[in-house]
Amino acid sequence: MTFYLVLTVNSVTFGGLLFLLSAGFSLIFGLMRIPNLTHGSLFMIGAYIGATFVIGLLGVKLNFWLAAILATLAVALLGALAERLLLRRLPGDQLAQVLVTLGLSFMAADACLALWGGDPLNVPTPDGLGGFVRTGIGAFPLYRVAVIAIAVVFAVALWLLLDRTRLGAMIRAGVDDPDMARVVGIRVSQLFTIVFALGAGLAAFAGIIGGPILSVYPGLDQDMLPLALVVVILGGSGSLLGSFVGSIVVGFLYNFGQALLPELAYFVLFLPMLLVLLLRPQGLFGRHVP
């Protein structure tokens, strides 16, 4: 019984991380039609930068949350630069975008290996969150519960951003009909940079708060990117609700799959994706077939 409870909490936690990762991926894909294959790298770079400050590798030891904010901002800046300097030269050319983002992800992976080496970094749990929450049905690691709470807060904040602000209205207009958005005078160019930076920042933030759970290691990027892809294919691109539901589903499939059918874990993970592709190619909550 406790086994399943623990697994459930782990699944929801992992789903929360995936949501932070894939919300940006989904928005970038939905709005800019850019398949951003660097998204896993952004997650990993965020995790490495954050870990560097949390552990104090450079001699500077920072509070966990301060480090997380720093890493998030740094990666958001990186994302904005990549968008401004490279992706912007290739508007509408998706093959070129795939290749460039893929190339960048290789460079990022190798650079991380060169800078941080091959051994995994273990990120300590932030102060005050190391204990357990005791409830009637069992005890849960406090940090995991905190991650779930953070993910929910971010989900609500993102929803408010998209639903209640002018920026959000512009993003939604862009997702629904990019050509029309241009025609009605939305400054798409600026919007793209903002969304790309936002997505990159969210991915990095997910990376660092995932650090204490997943640790940081070479290949983390390639573990996370396909998961983000599955989430977006399941949920539909450009849909926040889709990302949320997709993330939770993938969180459960991943954790239960690993625990119960370790040999076929990947198969279990990708099977629902295939079903969705066959039965509802635009994704559960998506409007367009990619």
Partner 1 sequence: MIARTLPIAVAVLALLTLPLWIGGTYYVNVTSQILFYAIFALGLNVLAGYGGLVSLGHAGLFGISSYVVGYMLQLGYGHTAAILMALAVGNVSMAIYALLSLRSTGIGFIMITLALGQILWGLAYRWISVTGGDNGINVPTRPAPFGLSLADSGNFYYATLVVFLLSVIAVAIFARSPLGAALMGTRDQPRRMNALGYHVLAIRFWACLFSGLLTSVSGILFVYYTQFISPQTLALTSSAEVLLMVISGGPGTLLGPIVGAGLVVVVKNVVSGFIERWNFLLGAIFVAIVILMPEGLVPGTVRLWRLATRKRAPAKAEIKTEGKP
Residue for token digits 């398949």?
Answer: 35
Among the listed residues 90, 133, 152, 167, the single contact to partner 1 using CB under 8 A? 90
Residue span 255-274 as binding mask against partner 1, x where in contact by CB under 8 A, dash where not: -------xxxxxx-xx--xx
Q: Is 100 in the site for partner 1 (CB under 8 A)?
A: yes
Query: Tokens for 156?
Result: 């609500």
Tell me how many residues contact partner 1 (CB under 8 A).
45
Query: Tokens for 209?
Result: 């708060």
Q: Is 242 in the site for partner 1 (CB under 8 A)?
A: no
Query: What three-state secondary structure class fits 37?
Result: coil
- Helix (H) or strand (E) holding 134, with range, is strand 132-135
Query: Tokens for 269?
Result: 């993970």
Residue span 211-240 as binding mask against partner 1, x where in contact by CB under 8 A, dash where not: -----------x--xx--xx-xx-------
Q: Is there a contact between 218 and 109 (Cβ–Cβ < 8 Å)?
A: yes
Q: Is 152 in the site for partner 1 (CB under 8 A)?
A: no
Query: Tokens for 117?
Result: 């080496």
- Cβ 46 to partner 1, closest distance in Å? 19
Among the listed residues 61, 89, 164, 187, the single contact to partner 1 using CB under 8 A? 89
- The DSSP bridge partners found for residue 140 are 133
Q: How far is CA 11 from each of CA 76, 151, 217, 218, 251, rounded to the nearest angstrom? A: 27, 13, 21, 23, 5
Q: Is there a contact between 198 and 247 (Cβ–Cβ < 8 Å)?
A: no
- Cβ 150 to partner 1, closest distance in Å? 28
CB atoms within 10 A of CB 213: 16
Query: What three-state secondary structure class fits 248?
Result: helix
Among the listed residues 20, 104, 147, 197, the single contact to partner 1 using CB under 8 A? 104
- Cβ 275 to partner 1, closest distance in Å? 11
- Cβ 290 to partner 1, closest distance in Å? 4
- Positions in 21-40 near partner 1 (CB under 8 A): 33, 35
How many angstroms separate the CA atoms of 102 and 37, rounded? 6
- Positions in 106-145 near partner 1 (CB under 8 A): 106-111, 114
Residues that bind partner 1 (CB under 8 A): 33, 35, 86, 89-90, 93-96, 98-100, 102-111, 114, 222, 225-226, 229-230, 232-233, 262-267, 269-270, 273-274, 277-278, 281, 289-290
